[in-house]
Structure 1
Amino acid sequence: MTTSPTQEPAQGLRERKRQQTRQAIASAGLGLFLQQGYDGTTLDQIAAAAGISRRSFFAYFPSKEELLLSAANTGFVEALRTAFAAVPAATLRPVEAMCRELPKLVSRFESEESLAIDRLLRSSETLRARKQAVFMEMENNLSDALAARWRDTDPQALRLVAMSGIGALRLAMDAWRGDHRQAALSVHLDRQLALLRQSVGA
C-alpha cells in the first residue's frame, strides 16, 4: 500500500505530539519526585500535574519506576549516537574510540538534576535494584552506537567493549561520590579507562 503525501506528515505530527506528552509527563513526575520524594508521589498526582488522566499515564509509562529510570538516561542515547557517528572508524579501533569519546559525555551526570535523580535511585532497596536497568540500557545504547560505526566487527566484541566502558563508568561514579566530587567525573573515568587499556594492551 502506497502512503499518500498527506499521510506521512500526519503520522509524524502524531509522533511528535506523543513525544511531547511523554516529556511533559516525565517532567511533571520528576518535579514531584524532587519536591516530595519518590514514595510520597502518587500516579494520580503525576497525572494531574501533567494534565492527563491516570489511565492515559499508562499509555506512556508502565509505572512510576519506569518514568524515573527514563529520566536518568535522558539525552544520553542521542549524545552517544552523535559522538560515535563522527568517529573516524578507519583509523580507530572500537575500544580506542570508546576511551576517547565516553569521557566527553559524562558531564551530564554532574548536573544538579542528575545528582538528585541518582539520590532518588539510591533511596530505597527496590530502586537500587532497578538502577541496574539504567546501566544495562547504557550498555545496549553504547553497543548499538559502536555497531552502527564498525559494521564489520564481531557484535560480541563490540558488546564486550560496551560492557567494559559502562563498567568503567560505574567504578568512576563510585570513586567520584567517594571523593565528594572534588575532581570532575571525567577525571575519574579517564583513570578507570587507563586501567582498562593497560589490561587489554590497547
Structure 2
Amino acid sequence: MVLDTPTDKRKRRTHTAVLDAGGTLFLAHGYRGTTIEMLAAAADVAVSSIYANFGAGKVDVYAALAWRTALDHVEQMTAPFGAVQPAHVVAESLDRYIAFHRDNPLALRLLGLTDVDRSESDSVVEAKGKIDAALGGLVDSVTRAVTDAGADVDPRALVLNAWAGMNGAVSLRQRRIVDQPMLDAMLAITRADMLRHLKGASDETR
C-alpha cells in the first residue's frame, strides 16, 4: 500500500527519502510549486522510482507524508506522560500538541490534506479515513483525561474548542498574518482558557 512503509529494504529507503524530500519541498515551495523532478532530485532517486513506489506520483507522496505525520503526531501525544494527576495530564497534552505543531509547520496542512483532492487518488481517500480515525483517537484520549479531572463544561466540547483555537492560531502563522511571538501568546491564552475549566487544575498547572 502507498501509505505504508515498505518492508523491502531498498523500497523502504526510497519511500523514506522521497517523503523526507516532500516534507522539505512542500514547505519551501508549496505543493503546487513542487514538481516530481524536484522530488526526485532532492531524494536522489530516479523519477521512475517515485512512480514505482507512488503510483499516482506527487499526490501519493503527499498522502503518504500526511499519514506519516499523523503517526508521528499520535506517537508524540501518546508517549508515557510524566504527569499523574488528570489535570496535569491535560496540561501536558496541550503542551505536546503545541510543541508538535511548532516543530512541524507543515503538519496542519498535511493532516487536513489541504492541498489535494480525493478525486486525484485513492490514496487521498484512504489517508483521510486513517488520519481522521487517528486524530479522533487523540481527542478521545484527552477527553478522558478532562473527564477524570472534572470540568465545568462538556469535556469533549472543551477539547475540540481548544484544538480549534490552536489550529486557527497556527493557520494565521502559516499565512504570515501573525509572527511567532504573537502565535506563542495566542497558544498560551488558549491553553490557559482550557485549563481554567478543569476542577483539578492548580495555578502551577495553568
- Judged with a 3 Å threshold, the aligned counterparts in structure 2 of structure 1 residues 14 and 61 are, in CA distance, closer, same or farther, namely farther
Structure 1 partner of 2:181: 182
Q: Tell me the amino acid that sits aligned with residue 17 of structure 2.
A: A
Matched, 1:76 2:69: no
> Cα offset for 1:179?
3.9
CA contact (8 A) 2:93 2:142 kept: no
Distance in 1 (CA, whole Å) between partners of 2:161 and 2:8 is: 35
For residues 154-179 of structure 1, the C-alpha deviation after alignment (integer angstroms, 9 at most, x for no partner) is: xxx87555423422322443566644
Alignment of 1:27-66 (within 5 A): 27-34=20-27, 36-43=29-36, 45-47=38-40, 49=43, 51=45, 52-58=49-55, 63-66=60-63
Matched, 1:142 2:138: yes
Q: List alignment gaps of at least 5 residues for structure 2.
A: 1-5, 119-127, 149-153, 202-206
> With structure 1 as the length reference, what TM-score do the two structures score?
0.55
CA contact (8 A) 2:22 2:62 kept: no
Structure 2 partner of 1:107: 99
Count of residue pairs brought into register by the alignment: 171
> Cα offset for 1:192?
1.1
- Judged with a 3 Å threshold, the aligned counterparts in structure 2 of structure 1 residues 107 and 143 are, in CA distance, closer, same or farther, namely closer
Percent identity at matched positions? Answer: 20
Q: Tell me the amino acid that sits aligned with residue 110 of structure 1.
A: R
- Judged with a 3 Å threshold, the aligned counterparts in structure 2 of structure 1 residues 137 and 102 are, in CA distance, closer, same or farther, namely farther
- Judged with a 3 Å threshold, the aligned counterparts in structure 2 of structure 1 residues 129 and 61 are, in CA distance, closer, same or farther, namely closer
Distance in 2 (CA, whole Å) between partners of 1:40 and 1:175 is: 21
- Give the counterpart of 1:92 among 73, 86, 90: 86
Q: Tell me the amino acid that sits aligned with residue 139 of structure 2.
A: S
CA contact (8 A) 1:169 1:189 kept: yes
Distance in 2 (CA, whole Å) between partners of 1:129 and 1:198 is: 39
Distance in 2 (CA, whole Å) between partners of 1:160 and 1:38 is: 33
> Cα offset for 1:128?
8.9
Matched, 1:167 2:160: no
Higher relative contact order (CA 8 A, sep 6+): 2
> Cα offset for 1:79?
1.2
Distance in 2 (CA, whole Å) between partners of 1:16 and 1:82 is: 27
Distance in 1 (CA, whole Å) between partners of 2:115 and 2:186 is: 25
CA contact (8 A) 2:162 2:190 kept: no
- Judged with a 3 Å threshold, the aligned counterparts in structure 2 of structure 1 residues 82 and 175 are, in CA distance, closer, same or farther, namely same
Would you identify which runs of 4 or more consecutive aligned residues in structure 1 move more than 6 Å? Answer: 15-18, 59-62
For residues 93-112 of structure 1, the C-alpha deviation after alignment (integer angstroms, 9 at most, x for no partner) is: 5xx5223432244234334x
Distance in 2 (CA, whole Å) between partners of 1:17 and 1:77 is: 27
> With structure 2 as the length reference, what TM-score do the two structures score?
0.54
Q: List alignment gaps of at least 5 residues for structure 1.
A: 1-12
Distance in 2 (CA, whole Å) between partners of 1:59 and 1:175 is: 31
Give the RMSD, CA atoms, in angstroms.
4.8
Distance in 2 (CA, whole Å) between partners of 1:141 and 1:105 is: 14
